[in-house]
């Protein structure tokens, strides 16, 4: 049996290829994909951008993964508490298991880059290390989570790399607390997830900062827990945050814009002994002028953070299962697998006139 996969053969070149389904043993498996999210990082991966080493082309893109167990060895089924046909999500990273970061539990920072959809070539068997395909190979160390039938594929595809990121960045890394003012710069899906996690943590007020062109996203932010929204091109962000916090400014700030101005704005609204979380990817060679004296005199923490992990994904599943936040409504574009290139262009903002929030690929179309 063979499977289709969209392969980046070199930077900026995508083509459909077929691969044989791999033979599995007692500890691995195969996932039949239901939906694949096109992450905001995928266009950069596709074009060869990387701060973690050269991309090992050819690669199968895709690391936002939801599907059903198609085949799995008995040991793996027992270990994960699964049965054939169960709906699961799969984390982006799984790690080599032997490097320093992996041995210390930090598999998302694996020195050998064992991650789906970005840093493992599809040249050699078992080939299927990316989700722009009909099937995905489940490595023995793959981080697999059962989500059941009550969570839809549209919700499921948002858990790992959106809600899971929000839990890790805002709650676990940012250590947001009850009643603490929070400012989030950037009302995309990651910003909305951050707002929801802040709301679940009891923070407040929760302030979302965007631009007038983000009007629809800012309105959606209210449904994800934002108490106030600010259009940075229409009003003074610092003055407004000061007014909303009685001059204390934000205790936690997160910039998810990937734009240098976002980081500058984040520092401008941070209060005394606050924390600034910086998960946005600005570009390997981008230099950002920051007023670091403010960091020193106000004892501000700057935290770089990367991706989600098991400790974040599990509470993200519980949040999603409550149905409190309209995750499925974030899916604005649903495309067949062969239209992956169009999807990448949509996410990169290269298709004029489109209101893009979440683009997914559906192999059944």
Q: Read off the CATH number of the domain in which 120 is found.
A: 3.90.180.10
How do residues 204-234 score in pLDDT, each as one tens digit?
Answer: 999 999 999 999 999 999 999 999 999 999 9
Residue 311 in domain: no
Consecutive H or E run containing 347: helix 340-347
> Going by C-beta distance under 8 Å and a sequence separation of 6 or more, which residues neighbour residue 190?
40, 162, 165, 166, 169, 256, 279
Residue 40 in domain: yes
Do 80 and 182 sit in the same domain of this protein?
no
Do 168 and 279 sit in the same domain of this protein?
yes
Residue 339 in domain: yes
Do 132 and 168 sit in the same domain of this protein?
no
Do 17 and 94 sit in the same domain of this protein?
yes
How do residues 136-148 score in pLDDT, each as one tens digit?
Answer: 999 999 999 999 9
Do 36 and 83 sit in the same domain of this protein?
yes
Q: How many domains does the chain have?
A: 2
Exposure string for 301-320, b = 16+ CB within 10 A, e = fewer: eeeebbbbbeebbebbbebb
19 bridge partner residues: 3
Do 200 and 282 sit in the same domain of this protein?
yes
Do 143 and 255 sit in the same domain of this protein?
no
pLDDT bracket for residue 342 (50, 70, 90)? very high
- Per the prediction, the chain carries an average pLDDT of 96
Exposure string for 112-124, b = 16+ CB within 10 A, e = fewer: ebbbbbbbbebee
Do 142 and 166 sit in the same domain of this protein?
no
Do 63 and 177 sit in the same domain of this protein?
no
CA angle (171 as vertex; 165, 173 as ends), nearest 5 = 80
Residue 68 in domain: yes
Is a pLDDT exceeding 90 seen at residue 52?
no
146 bridge partner residues: 88
pTM (2 decimals)? Answer: 0.94
Q: Helix or strand or coil: residue 121?
A: coil
Residue 321 in domain: no
Give the pLDDT of residue 286: 81
Give the pLDDT of residue 281: 80
**CB 157 within 8 Å of CB 360:** yes
Picking from 259, 234, 160, 244, the residue whose alpha carbon sits closest to that of residue 204 is: 244
CATH number, domain at 232? 3.40.50.720
Residue 6 in domain: yes
Residue 320 in domain: no
Do 247 and 339 sit in the same domain of this protein?
no
What residue ranges in the chain does DSSP mark as E strands?
Answer: 2-10, 13-20, 29-37, 59-60, 64-72, 87-90, 135-138, 144-146, 182-185, 206-210, 228-231, 250-255, 270-278, 301-304, 331-336, 358-362
Is a pLDDT exceeding 80 seen at residue 51?
no
What totals of helices (H) and strands (E) does the chain contain, helices first?
Answer: 12, 16
Task: Express as a percent the part of the chain with pLDDT over 70.
Answer: 100
**CB 175 within 8 Å of CB 198:** no
**Structural domain boundaries enclosing 283:** 162-304
How do residues 278-323 score in pLDDT, each as one tens digit?
Answer: 998 887 778 889 999 999 999 999 999 989 999 999 999 999 999 9
Tell me how far apart the alpha carbons of residues 3 and 254 are, in angstroms, rounded to a whole number: 40
Do 95 and 229 sit in the same domain of this protein?
no
Residue 314 in domain: no
Do 106 and 175 sit in the same domain of this protein?
no
Give the pLDDT of residue 282: 82
């Amino acid at each position: 049996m063979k499977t289709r996969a969209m392969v980046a053969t070199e930077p900026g070149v995508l083509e459909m290829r077929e691969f044989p389904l791999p033979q599995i043993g007692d500890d691995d498996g195969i996932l039949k994909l239901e939906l694949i999210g096109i992450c905001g990082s995928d266009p950069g991966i596709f074009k060869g951008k990387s701060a973690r080493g050269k991309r090992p082309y050819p690669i199968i893109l895709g690391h936002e993964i939801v599907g059903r167990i198609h085949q799995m060895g008995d040991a793996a089924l027992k270990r994960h508490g699964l049965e054939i046909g169960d709906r699961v999500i799969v984390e982006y990273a799984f790690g080599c298991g032997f490097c320093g970061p992996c041995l210390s539990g930090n598999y998302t920072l694996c020195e050998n880059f064992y991650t789906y959809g970005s840093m493992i070539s599809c040249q050699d068997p078992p080939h299927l290390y990316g989700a722009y395909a009909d099937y995905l190979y489940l490595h023995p160390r793959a981080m697999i989570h059962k989500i059941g039938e009550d969570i839809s594929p549209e919700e499921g595809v948002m858990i790992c790399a959106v809600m899971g990121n929000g839990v890790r960045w805002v709650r676990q890394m940012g250590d947001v607390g009850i009643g603490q003012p929070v400012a989030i710069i950037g009302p995309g899906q990651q910003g909305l997830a951050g707002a929801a996690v802040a709301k679940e943590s009891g923070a407040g007020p929760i302030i979302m900062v965007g631009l007038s062109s983000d009007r629809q996203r800012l309105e959606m932010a209210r449904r994800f827990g934002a108490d106030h929204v600010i259009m940075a091109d229409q009003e003074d962000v610092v003055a407004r945050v000061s007014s909303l916090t009685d001059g204390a400014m934000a205790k936690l700030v997160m910039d998810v814009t990937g734009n240098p101005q976002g980081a500058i704005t984040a520092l401008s609204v941070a209060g005394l002994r606050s924390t600034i979380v910086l998960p946005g990817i600005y570009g390997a060679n981008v230099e950002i002028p920051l007023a670091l004296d403010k960091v020193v005199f106000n004892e501000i923490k700057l935290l770089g953070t990367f991706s989600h992990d098991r400790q974040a994904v599990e509470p993200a599943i519980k949040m999603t299962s409550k149905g409190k936040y309209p995750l499925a409504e974030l899916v604005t574009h649903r495309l067949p697998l062969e239209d992956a290139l169009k999807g990448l262009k949509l996410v990169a903002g290269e298709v004029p006139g489109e209101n893009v929030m979440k683009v997914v690929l559906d192999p059944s179309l």
